[in-house]
A and B are shown apart, each in its own frame.
Chain A
Amino acid sequence: MSVLSALDRRHTVAPAGFNRWLIPPAALSVHLCIGQAYATSVYKNSLIAHFDVSQTAIGIIFSIAIVMLGLSAAVGGTWVETNGPRKAMFVSACFWGAGFLVGALGIATQQLWLLYLGYGFLGGIGLGIGYISPVSTLIKWFPDRPGLATGLAIMGFGGGALIASPLSRQLLSYYDSGYDPSVSTSIADGHALVLLFVTLGLAYFAIMMFGVANIRVPAQEWRPDGFDPATVAAKPLVTTASVSAANAIRTRSFWLLWIVLFCNVTAGIGILEQASPMIQDFFRDGTASAVGVSAAAGFVGVLSLFNMGGRFVWSSASDLIGRKRIYLIYLGLGMVLYALLASVGDSATWLFVVFAGVIISFYGGGFATAPAYLRDLFGTYQVGAIHGRLLTAWSAAGVAGPLIVNGFLDAQGEPGKLTASAYQPALFTMVGVLAVGFIANLLVRPVPERYHEASAPAQPTAEAQPTAEAQPTAEAQPTAEGEPTGAPNTSKEATA
């Protein structure tokens, strides 16, 4: 058996007695690595100084990566589903690791376009493939607790920034004695940046390969001990039918869920993108704020923890409460909390932190619960590919959220002089955005039978591609994801 054929789905079928709890750490080893994407601001200033270019020129690197994330997840979803998680995770590790190495070459040779090509383009493909690669496998291993399983993995994406931020600072400090990791404006030299990129690229590749080695798919008829699929199918909105990715995007429910995710992410980014200046502005008296720059960085750290914790806690809770109900909580209670933040958020710092923290936990929960919601509606057949297509809502919200907030704030005055009242128009707009998502979620219905596969399809394999589905009549026209978990930084890394 060649090395590459060992990556095929048919060689990753778990033997009898395989412990399914090996799968979450395999998935986490990928998500903890690709979550680095939201810690790029740590070395942003150093890159600006090294290339002697504008903030925008460096910011584009991150934008390319996020666009490629959405595109590769949407386009590569079916390939991931067909070829299995091991090959997908291997491809992701190669792209992600190579992205850092090509980026390092760009820094060493002062060629910015190589950084765009490396970290942005290649790394972005690694991000998209890596994000969706373990999702459908986890759902198949945990048919009794899909929310918990996907919550664990997607929590890792949030955790990745928590790891990468302090690690990058400490590595830069190790490679450049003039760099002070405790000062956010400190600049590292080009040599240290090259070594940082090489170190991260190699380390992430090695950790992701750990996941590649351990990932397995369950045998076709495998079920957890004591699990009865009939008990799952008895819940509202949960199907035992199979819907292909091609058919899923023709259903009204897919696009309603797209709107739900778009609204939830747009609103969350409203706070995340502005977290550091926002808390300072809310407690500003004249030109001075009661919250200093250092405390504001602490606030970003608190939000990061809520973001990561919300992914696991709320997604796990959705297994008990139900997917539709938990999104009603994210969106409905989110509306109330946004309104409270706008109206009484400036009365006490702790109150502001609690409101914002719970809102961000809902934001993270929305990401982590989405795959399980898709499983409920469309079955497990091509849930990874459907998830990939849904992630385009993330890309769209990553543009819309900051545009809404920055648009309102620009009209209110200059940065550094804003107060709590300046945020009210933006925050109340987010209440409206969440209301749209709330209504969309209420309208989600089971997928009509005409979209179901005629018979239960076998596990997709690279040898036997899924058959083309019958073309159902269009039910609804398509209307139309930064996810930050921020790391403890005062900048936009928290926008993911």
Chain B
Amino acid sequence: MSEQTQRIRLVVSWLLVTVLLGYGVIQTLITAAKLFG
């Protein structure tokens, strides 16, 4: 695996995880805000 391929895999992998987790956390924060609303 070339260094460039590895770098692309690294960026795509963490991007996928960040998007998935970010979606979950934001949606949960919206719900959680009702506790203090």
Interfacial residues, chain A to chain B (CB-CB below 8 A): 15, 17-19, 21-22, 25-26, 28-29, 32, 156, 159-163, 165-167, 207, 210, 214, 291, 294-302, 304-305, 349, 353, 487-488
State how many angstroms separate the Cβ of B5 from the closest Cβ of chain A.
11
| Contact indicator A295/B24 (Cβ below 8 Å) | no
State how many angstroms separate the Cβ of A493 from the closest Cβ of chain B.
12
| Contact indicator B28/A305 (Cβ below 8 Å) | yes
State how many angstroms separate the Cβ of A303 from the closest Cβ of chain B.
9
SS class of chain A's interface: helix, strand, loop or mixed? helix
Query: Which of A17, A21, A162, A302 interacts with B27 by CB under 8 Å?
Result: A162
Query: Which of B10, B32, B36 interacts with A21 by CB under 8 Å?
Result: B10
State how many angstroms separate the Cβ of B19 from the closest Cβ of chain A.
10
Interfacial residues, chain B to chain A (CB-CB below 8 A): 1, 3, 6, 9-10, 13-14, 16-17, 20-21, 23-25, 27-29, 31-37
- A305 to B28, alpha carbons, bound, how many Å? 8
Query: Which of A28, A156, A488 interacts with B31 by CB under 8 Å?
Result: A488
Pair count A-B, CB < 8 A: 99
State how many angstroms separate the Cβ of B32 from the closest Cβ of chain A.
4
| Contact indicator A210/B37 (Cβ below 8 Å) | no
- A165 to B29, alpha carbons, bound, how many Å? 13
| Contact indicator A488/B27 (Cβ below 8 Å) | yes
- A159 to B33, alpha carbons, bound, how many Å? 18
What residues of A have a CB within 8 angstroms of the CB of B28 in the complex?
Answer: 162, 165-166, 301, 304-305, 487-488
A182's nearest neighbour on chain B, judged by CB, is B31
| Contact indicator A166/B35 (Cβ below 8 Å) | no
What residues of A have a CB within 8 angstroms of the CB of B9 in the complex?
Answer: 22, 214
State how many angstroms separate the Cβ of A157 from the closest Cβ of chain B.
12
Query: Which of B1, B16, B17, B36 interacts with A15 by CB under 8 Å?
Result: B1
- A332 to B23, alpha carbons, bound, how many Å? 34
- A65 to B13, alpha carbons, bound, how many Å? 28
State how many angstroms separate the Cβ of A306 from the closest Cβ of chain B.
10
| Contact indicator B1/A210 (Cβ below 8 Å) | no
- A295 to B3, alpha carbons, bound, how many Å? 50
Q: A162-B24, A487-B28 are in contact. Are A28 and B17 (CB under 8 A)?
A: yes
A292's nearest neighbour on chain B, judged by CB, is B34
| Contact indicator A207/B16 (Cβ below 8 Å) | yes
| Contact indicator B20/A32 (Cβ below 8 Å) | yes
- A300 to B34, alpha carbons, bound, how many Å? 11
- A163 to B26, alpha carbons, bound, how many Å? 9
Q: A25-B17, A28-B17, A298-B32 are in contact. Are A17 and B3 (CB under 8 A)?
A: yes
| Contact indicator B6/A214 (Cβ below 8 Å) | no
| Contact indicator B1/A301 (Cβ below 8 Å) | no
| Contact indicator B35/A299 (Cβ below 8 Å) | yes
| Contact indicator B29/A22 (Cβ below 8 Å) | no
A–B pairs, 22, beta carbons within 8 Å: A17-B6, A19-B6, A21-B14, A25-B14, A29-B17, A156-B21, A160-B24, A162-B27, A165-B28, A166-B24, A166-B31, A214-B13, A295-B37, A297-B31, A297-B34, A298-B32, A298-B34, A298-B35, A298-B36, A301-B28, A301-B34, A488-B32
Query: Which of A26, A163, A297, A302 interacts with B24 by CB under 8 Å?
Result: A163
What residues of B have a CB within 8 angstroms of the CB of A297 in the complex?
Answer: 31, 34
Output the residue of B1, B17, B24 with the most chain A CB within 10 A: B24
- A159 to B31, alpha carbons, bound, how many Å? 15
B27's nearest neighbour on chain A, judged by CB, is A166
| Contact indicator A22/B24 (Cβ below 8 Å) | no
What residues of A have a CB within 8 angstroms of the CB of B23 in the complex?
Answer: 163, 166-167
A210's nearest neighbour on chain B, judged by CB, is B16
Q: What 12 new A-B contacts, CB under 8 Å, besides A17-B3, A156-B17, A166-B31?
A: A18-B6, A25-B13, A32-B20, A163-B23, A210-B13, A210-B16, A295-B36, A295-B37, A298-B32, A301-B28, A301-B31, A302-B32
Query: Which of A32, A207, A295, A353 interacts with B34 by CB under 8 Å?
Result: A295
What residues of A have a CB within 8 angstroms of the CB of B33 in the complex?
Answer: 298
What residues of B have a CB within 8 angstroms of the CB of A298 in the complex?
Answer: 31-37
| Contact indicator A22/B34 (Cβ below 8 Å) | no
